[in-house]
């Protein structure tokens, strides 16, 4: 019986093929029930997202099981198996465990650290559970994968730093201001990206929101959408005095916020920092404001640079996550192999203990005049003999299971000691 995972992902399969193969939940259920009906697969979980289609299974012959599963999938989606087959990867046993952990922890994702994948794996597992297609191998595997994913998220910064421009701007604001709640935001100009940045800021507690636009009706409209206040265009400079964060995205060809204006404003602010997020191209805020104290200006290129730095930071954290996963794989495998031999060890001990107690009773019955000391000594003697005899077989069993070769040993022990059929 072998654990395997087979499938294709964004790493090797083009998006055109992935979207063709992706299966929605209803069909997944059908497929699961279908595959489970046959003898080839003992257990099965199907994971289908836009970035990967994978089969996690337990089978006597993983190669056949894989072929069976993907034949069914391809038939279902009307894809030629011939185009899929050469792209499939297969991982067995320890490699399959590692793969499951890495996928759940978002280390195999297109965007390392993205949070959706864990939910998708959980859904796939829940579906398989509902179809009763998970058993003693996949159940602990997935439970452990979830807890490893959680550890990776909490113990590394793999998902911490923003990888989008608008979130990067929010993070920058958090490095300038002592918390964002109650920080006033001014939006200058309308644009999807500035609206998005404003929404993120509001989510972090920023308030109130002002909107300025050359077209008054546009300003009013956007202010309503963000529960903010519209500001007349010619009062822009006055508004600068009252706010902490300014998001600009006008289509103007000349800067709308000049260094001179900001310099005037800064006098009245008594050291409160002013943060410009300039998403417009050409830029709306004069680059000269950089030399003013307490003024921070990030244009779109600066923000992209921050995102790049964040990505590098994520990649560094991913290395830490990989070693964490590696340790967890080792622990999991050790536990699994122990779990495999423990029932046999327990029944072996029980068998010998039964023999020992039987013989002890007989012997003591024949020695009515024995002192308590003698009785205790005989008891201890028999105990010691049993333990000495058991020591080597038990050690051998544990070792063989860690080496992945416990099957023949388990059978041998069952035969030799008459323990009956293996469960």
Partner 1 sequence: MQPTLINAALIGYVGATGLALAYLVQRQDLVHRLAVLCALAGWAAHTVALIMRSIELGAPPLGSLPDAISVVVWVIVLLEMLIEYRTGLRVLGAFVLPVAVVLSLKATRGPAATLAPALASAWIWVHIALAMVGIAAFVFNFAGAIMYLLQERQLKAKRPGAFYYRLPALQTLDRLTFQTLALGFPFLTTGLVLGALWARVAWGSAFTYDPLAFLSFVAWVIYAGTLAGRAAAGWHGRRAAYFSIIGFAALVATLGAGLFLPGRHGS
Q: Binding residues for partner 1, per CB under 8 A? A: 155, 157, 161, 172, 174-179, 270-271, 273, 290, 293-294, 296, 298, 302, 305-306, 309-310, 313, 320
Residue 39 CB, shortest distance to partner 1, in Å, is 48
Element (H, E) at 152: helix 138-155
Residue 390 CB contacts under 8 Å (≥ 6 apart), including other chains? 348, 349, 352
User: Distance between CA atoms of 216 and 229, rounded to whole angstroms?
Assistant: 12
Comparing CB distances to partner 1, the nearer of 292 and 333 is 292
Element (H, E) at 34: helix 25-37
Nearest to 223 by CA among 188, 182, 275: 188
Comparing CB distances to partner 1, the nearer of 173 and 219 is 173
User: Distance between CA atoms of 281 and 279, rounded to whole angstroms?
Assistant: 7
To which residue do tokens 């830029």 refer?
A: 283
User: Distance between CA atoms of 176 and 382, rounded to whole angstroms?
Assistant: 75
CA angle 46/51/53 to nearest 5° reads: 25
Give the active site residue among 1, 50, 281, 357.
50
Residue 160 CB, shortest distance to partner 1, in Å, is 9
Comparing CB distances to partner 1, the nearer of 175 and 362 is 175
User: Distance between CA atoms of 1 and 92, rounded to whole angstroms?
Assistant: 11
Q: What is the CA radius of gyration of the chain?
A: 33
Comparing CB distances to partner 1, the nearer of 157 and 353 is 157
Residue 175 CB, shortest distance to partner 1, in Å, is 5
Sign, Cα dihedral of 228, 234, 237, 241:
negative
Nearest to 352 by CA among 316, 387, 302: 387
Residue 308 CB, shortest distance to partner 1, in Å, is 9
Residue 181 CB, shortest distance to partner 1, in Å, is 13
User: Distance between CA atoms of 309 and 289, rounded to whole angstroms?
Assistant: 24
Identify whether 74 is a catalytic site residue: no
Residue 367 CB, shortest distance to partner 1, in Å, is 60
Comparing CB distances to partner 1, the nearer of 171 and 338 is 171
Sign, Cα dihedral of 203, 205, 210, 214:
negative
To which residue do tokens 């080792």 refer?
A: 330
Comparing CB distances to partner 1, the nearer of 172 and 410 is 172
Which active-site residues does the annotation give? 50
């Amino acid at each position: 019986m072998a654990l395997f995972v087979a499938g294709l992902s964004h790493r090797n399969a083009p998006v055109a093929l992935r979207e063709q193969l992706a299966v929605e939940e209803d069909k997944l259920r059908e497929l699961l029930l279908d595959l489970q009906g046959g003898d080839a697969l003992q257990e099965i979980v199907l994971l289908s997202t836009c970035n990967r289609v994978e089969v996690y299974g337990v089978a006597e012959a993983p190669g056949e099981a894989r072929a069976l599963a993907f034949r069914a999938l391809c038939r279902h989606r009307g894809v030629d198996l011939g185009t899929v087959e050469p792209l499939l990867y297969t991982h067995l046993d320890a490699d399959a465990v590692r793969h499951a952990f890495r996928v759940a922890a978002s280390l195999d994702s297109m965007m390392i650290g993205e949070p959706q994948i864990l939910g998708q794996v959980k859904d796939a597992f829940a579906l398989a559970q509902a179809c009763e297609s998970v058993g003693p191998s996949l159940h602990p595997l997935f439970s452990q994968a979830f807890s490893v994913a959680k550890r990776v998220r909490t113990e590394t910064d793999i998902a911490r730093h923003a990888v989008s421009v608008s979130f990067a701007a929010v993070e920058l604001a958090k490095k300038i201001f002592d918390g964002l709640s109650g920080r006033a935001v001014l939006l200058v100009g309308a644009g999807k990206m500035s609206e998005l940045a404003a929404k993120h800021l509001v989510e972090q507690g920023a308030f109130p929101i002002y909107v300025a636009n050359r077209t008054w009706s546009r300003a009013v409209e956007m202010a309503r959408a963000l529960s903010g206040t519209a500001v007349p265009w010619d009062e822009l400079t006055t508004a600068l005095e009252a706010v902490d964060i300014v998001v600009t995205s006008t289509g103007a060809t000349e800067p709308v916020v000049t260094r001179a204006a900001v310099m005037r404003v800064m006098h009245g602010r008594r050291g409160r920092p002013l943060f410009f997020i300039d998403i417009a191209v050409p830029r709306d805020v004069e680059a000269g404001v950089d030399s003013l104290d307490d003024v921070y200006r990030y244009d779109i290129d600066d923000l992209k640079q921050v995102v790049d730095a964040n990505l590098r930071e994520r990649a560094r954290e991913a290395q830490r996550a990989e070693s964490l996963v590696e340790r967890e794989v080792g622990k999991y495998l050790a536990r699994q192999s122990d779990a495999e031999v423990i029932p046999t060890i327990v029944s072996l001990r029980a068998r010998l203990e039964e023999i020992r107690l039987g013989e002890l009773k007989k012997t003591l019955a024949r020695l009515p005049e024995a002192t308590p000391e003698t009785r205790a000594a005989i008891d201890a003697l028999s105990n010691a003999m049993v333990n000495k005899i058991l020591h080597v077989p038990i050690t051998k069993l544990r070792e063989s299971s860690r080496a992945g070769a416990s099957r023949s040993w388990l059978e041998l022990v069952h035969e030799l000691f008459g323990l009956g059929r293996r469960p």
